[in-house]
């Protein structure tokens, strides 16, 4: 048995949750205690405390982390988050989940994550830039195209990545576009990265539909969270697969129309007014109601912890595709499985984003850029293959897709550790 017994760790700690998940799958596939312990331990962690000159001339010390969870399958990959609630345990958990996500879609990466404890809304652009550059400089000994490749996450964006790329390149003395992904296209970003998460989600929905007994063409879809991931998924399901988008929502509330909404018109309305709410001809609904709307497919694309023990028995959809990270609580998972609602878990359903990040890195390091068609064709092939593999494990083991995805991922990482052997 492992000495990292999950039961002694507080349940609210995300890293404790991440380790419990490893234990559950390790029991299922009979992993040896040694490999289990390797999988439950972050390989490398760096915490940095560094000063930044503020606009008023004062200095402020910030704390940042970078955790490289496991690199048995390749360089590590994962976003950088700016948030006042960042903790080392949260970064560890997110880095573990990135490890599994990369393994589910079988791209040659391990998982990492980084973060700075900061409320970025309280900084000027100049302060943000100086903080980002200093953090990039502090973690530069452990990042790089062959070691660890950061990307945007909560409250970081393409501009943040441009600053990190420039800082790292200044230290090297030459441009290193492959050190980060999610860059502006003019600096080596990839075509199609912006819509990759929603597009990948739409592909796995299409693949799962026949197994669930629903038709996407003419079928109905509800999308919670009409942001990057959700609005793109809605547009692709509507435009390319002929689905009727009957309900969408954002922080201000939701809208419903039984005959279907045009997601492009809804987007234009949101751009004009700041919300989907008030879209002409649609009925106003709450975010809670959106989750329970009568639709074939539900796409949670907003926040974590949306489908809970309280509302899981009211979900009307037959297929739930998690564009968001962590929208379904474990107790809800159980209820959905018993009710035969199929869930496409986040590590699969939103892995289109990291997949095209991998394509961005691959293009950067070979200095040869692909067309949008090429990117989308390759993305489709990764998503279709990954869905098929997860589905096969779920069928063979009689488990739900989330467990199946974890089985596939943890098995792949464990195999890589075993094959490489323990050094020395």
Residue of minimal CB distance from ligand NAD? Answer: 227
Query: Does residue 79 interact with ligand NAD by CB under 6 A?
Result: no
Looking at the Cβ atoms of 82 and 226, the one nearer to ligand NAD is 226
Per-residue string for binding with ligand NAD, 173-212, x by CB under 6 A?
------------------------x---------------
> Which residues, 218 to 277, sit near ligand NAD by CB under 6 A?
224-230, 249-251
Query: Does residue 308 interact with ligand NAD by CB under 6 A?
Result: no
CB of 125 to ligand NAD, least distance (A): 20
- Residue 339, sorted as left (phi over 0), alpha (psi -120 to 50) or beta, turns out to be alpha
Q: Tell me how far apart the alpha carbons of residues 294 and 316 are, in angstroms, rounded to a whole number.
A: 5
Looking at the Cβ atoms of 197 and 241, the one nearer to ligand NAD is 197
Name the token pair of 360.
């961005």
End-to-end CA, the chain: 24
> Which residues, 399 to 418, sit near ligand NAD by CB under 6 A?
none
Query: Does residue 278 interact with ligand NAD by CB under 6 A?
Result: no
CB of 84 to ligand NAD, least distance (A): 17
Alpha-helical runs (H) found in 215-315 = 228-239, 263-273, 287-292
Whether 110 and 31 have beta carbons less than 8 Å apart is answered as no
CB of 230 to ligand NAD, least distance (A): 6
Q: Which of 324, 336, 375, 394 binds ligand NAD (CB under 6 A)?
A: 324
Alpha-helical runs (H) found in 109-190 = 125-139, 158-172
Query: Does residue 86 interact with ligand NAD by CB under 6 A?
Result: no
Chain-centroid distance of CA 328 in Å reads: 14
Per-residue exposure over 212-240, b if at least 16 CB sit within 10 Å of its own CB, e if not? bebebeebbbbbbbbbbbbbbbbbbbbee
At residue 279, φ and ψ (nearest 5 deg) are -65, 125
H or E segment and range at residue 29: helix 14-29
Q: Which of 116, 202, 205, 301 binds ligand NAD (CB under 6 A)?
A: 301
Query: Does residue 159 interact with ligand NAD by CB under 6 A?
Result: no
Whether 80 and 115 have beta carbons less than 8 Å apart is answered as yes
Name the token pair of 140.
């530069």
Is 113 one of the catalytic residues? yes
Query: Does residue 303 interact with ligand NAD by CB under 6 A?
Result: yes
Query: Does residue 386 interact with ligand NAD by CB under 6 A?
Result: no
Chain-centroid distance of CA 405 in Å reads: 14
Whether 97 and 77 have beta carbons less than 8 Å apart is answered as no
Q: Tell me how far apart the alpha carbons of residues 167 and 136 are, in angstroms, rounded to a whole number.
A: 7
Looking at the Cβ atoms of 208 and 323, the one nearer to ligand NAD is 323
Which residue stretch of 92-100, 122-130, 320-328, 369-377 sits at the interface with ligand NAD (rule: CB under 6 A)?
320-328
Instruction: Determine the size of the site formed for ligand NAD (CB under 6 A).
Output: 20
| Dihedral sign for Cα atoms in the order 103, 109, 114, 119 | negative
Active site residue: 101, 113, 235, 270, which one?
Answer: 113
Query: Does residue 311 interact with ligand NAD by CB under 6 A?
Result: no
Contact set with ligand NAD (CB under 6 A): 197, 224-230, 249-251, 287, 301-303, 323-325, 350, 353
Supply the residues annotated as catalytic.
113
């Amino acid at each position: 048995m492992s000495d990292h017994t999950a039961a002694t760790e507080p349940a609210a700690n995300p890293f404790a949750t991440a380790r419990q998940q490893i234990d559950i799958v390790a029991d299922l596939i009979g992993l040896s205690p040694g490999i289990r312990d390797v999988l439950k331990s972050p390989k490398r962690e760096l915490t940095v405390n560094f000063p930044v000159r503020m606009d008023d001339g004062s200095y402020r010390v910030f704390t940042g982390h970078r955790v490289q969870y496991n690199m048995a399958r390749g360089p590590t990959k994962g976003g950088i988050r700016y948030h006042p609630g960042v903790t080392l345990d949260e970064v560890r958990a997110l880095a573990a989940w990135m490890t599994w996500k990369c393994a589910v879609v079988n791209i040659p990466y391990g998982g990492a994550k980084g973060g700075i404890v900061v409320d970025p809304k309280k900084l000027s652009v100049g302060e943000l830039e100086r903080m980002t550059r200093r953090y990039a400089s502090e973690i530069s000994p452990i990042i790089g195209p062959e070691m660890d490749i950061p990307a945007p996450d909560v409250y970081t964006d393409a501009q943040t990545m441009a600053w990190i790329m420039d800082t790292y390149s200044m230290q090297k003395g030459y441009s290193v576009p492959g050190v980060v992904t999610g860059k502006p296209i003019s600096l080596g970003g990839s075509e199609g990265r912006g819509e990759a998460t929603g597009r990948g989600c739409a592909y796995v929905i299409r693949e799962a539909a026949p197994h669930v007994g629903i038709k996407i063409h003419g079928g109905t879809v509800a999308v919670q969270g009409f942001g990057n991931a959700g609005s793109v998924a809605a547009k692709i399901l509507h435009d390319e697969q002929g689905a009727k988008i009957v309900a969408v929502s954002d922080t201000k509330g939701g809208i419903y129309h039984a005959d279907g909404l045009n997601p492009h018109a809804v987007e234009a309305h949101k751009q004009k007014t700041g919300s989907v709410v008030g879209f002409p001809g649609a009925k106003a609904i709450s975010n809670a109601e959106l989750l329970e709307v009568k639709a074939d497919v539900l796409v949670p694309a907003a926040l974590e912890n949306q489908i809970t023990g309280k509302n899981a028995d009211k979900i009307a959809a037959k297929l739930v595709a998690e564009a968001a990270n962590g929208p379904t609580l474990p107790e809800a998972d159980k209820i959905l499985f018993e009710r035969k609602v199929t869930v496409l878990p986040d590590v699969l359903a939103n892995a289109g984003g990291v997949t095209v990040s991998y394509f961005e890195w691959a293009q950067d390091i070979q200095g040869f850029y692909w067309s949008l068609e090429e990117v989308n064709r390759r993305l489709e092939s990764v998503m279709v293959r990954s869905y098929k593999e997860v589905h096969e494990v779920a069928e063979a083991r009689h488990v739900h897709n989330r467990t199946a995805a974890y089985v596939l991922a943890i098995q792949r990482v464990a195999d890589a550790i075993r094959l490489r052997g323990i050094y020395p």
